Structure 1
Amino acid sequence: MAPDTPPQFLKATKLSDYEVKLSWEPPLKPNSDILYYIVRIWNETTETWQNVTGTSVIIHVDSESRYNASVSSWTRLGDGGVLIYISFTSGEAEPTDPPQNVTVVNVTASSLTLTWHPPTQPNGIIVHYTVYISENNTMTEKKIPVSNLPIPASHDSPFIYNLKRLIGGSNYTIWMTSSTIQGDGGVRSKPLTVLLPEDAAPLSAKHRTSRAPCVSRTAKPSRGSRPLVFRPPQTPGSL
């Protein structure tokens, strides 16, 4: 059978003013062994086709030009008529879409963790991400250079960043942008609203638990015996 789905996660990475790397992942439902991929690259004046057996290819481009690219996966029964497509530029430009799959995880009373993927159309090299945090009509922003982020474990692993020094019980709205040296393109991720749990309040004195005093029991005196009575010494140090 031919593939039911196209290749995944096609992206363009600028290597220089004249070279761009296209990379992708195999389709989810190839239905058979992938023999090769057909990569088509075109702009207003040129068009090229390449057969590629791997999941990446380096193409030569003209500086400051806008290109389109598509990739289809081929088995012995064809490509199923499904392909993936992107548009990119060989010069630096602003992103045309925001960070993808922005998610909030690991929420505590004073922190939360953000995860996200890069934009699918960065149109250049992403140099930093910006996190916008709105709370009680006050907005703050935090720029995160890509060089400060841990390198994702794999191609489809997200970036991870921990936001600290938040206030428990507060309602935060968070969104993100990504920027090349030309800017963020005015595109942002969908806002997320997060309510942090309250801080654990310290216990008041009446709610504190204390250890009960240790009470030793003496044997019940037998009939006819007198209990021993100890009196303190008359002078210090005497017995």
Structure 2
Amino acid sequence: MLKVSHHNGKQDTILSGLLKNVRYSISVAASTNAGSGPFSVPVYQDTREGAPELAPSSVECTAVSSTSVRVGWQPIALPGQGSSLVGYNVLYSTDEGAWQNATSLHTEFYIQGLMKYTNYTVKVAGFSSYGAGPYSYPIVCSTLEDVPGPPEETKVLTVSATSLLVSWKKPLHPNGQILRYTVYVKPISSTSPPQGYRVEVNPQQNPRTYSLEVKELSVSRQYEVWVAARSGAGEGAPGRRVPHATKHRGALS
């Protein structure tokens, strides 16, 4: 039963629950207790098109580099996209970050400028001039590893006349799974390459500070010490270089 309104001698009603972007034929007939009269000559009217009714399907995300991923998807099927589909919205975020929005006119998009070795949640929706449709089910992908940043807070202490204790903290930006650290020691006055000492990392442990005692150094000599971290992508930039001298034997007695 339709609700009919009267305005200025005319009668009107609203037809609801119709399909989007469909042409309808409309005829009107009056009825009494005796029955219905003849229908009027039909008029034709198209409903407006709305936002897409379906989400893109088969959304996939592939890491391209340590700062970019490729997102691809299948286009919205014609019955669900209408004839005025403009493009796609791509939403992405880290686990604790705010959603960021990008727009693509095609069925793929390269998201760049991301954080290294980080998980991102991605979802995609089609949009028309009438708004965005439903988003696809969120998927998670990760950017690739990169070389680590420099280790933090490198410190050197004298242990004996021929040994130094080097300590440091992990990089602020590991950019991957750190496999080991290399402690480099070089006499300041020497032109020879530095001596490297490897410190392997146990992935089951996560100490706040790492340390290594460097032995068999020369007595009362000035050294320069620095540390670099290595991931599966290679060795990263070294931390700050710390000058420190071993003492002569009498100074430690």
Instruction: Give the TM-score of the pair, scaled to structure 1.
Output: 0.44
Q: Which has the larger radius of gyration?
A: 2
Greater share of residues in strand = 2
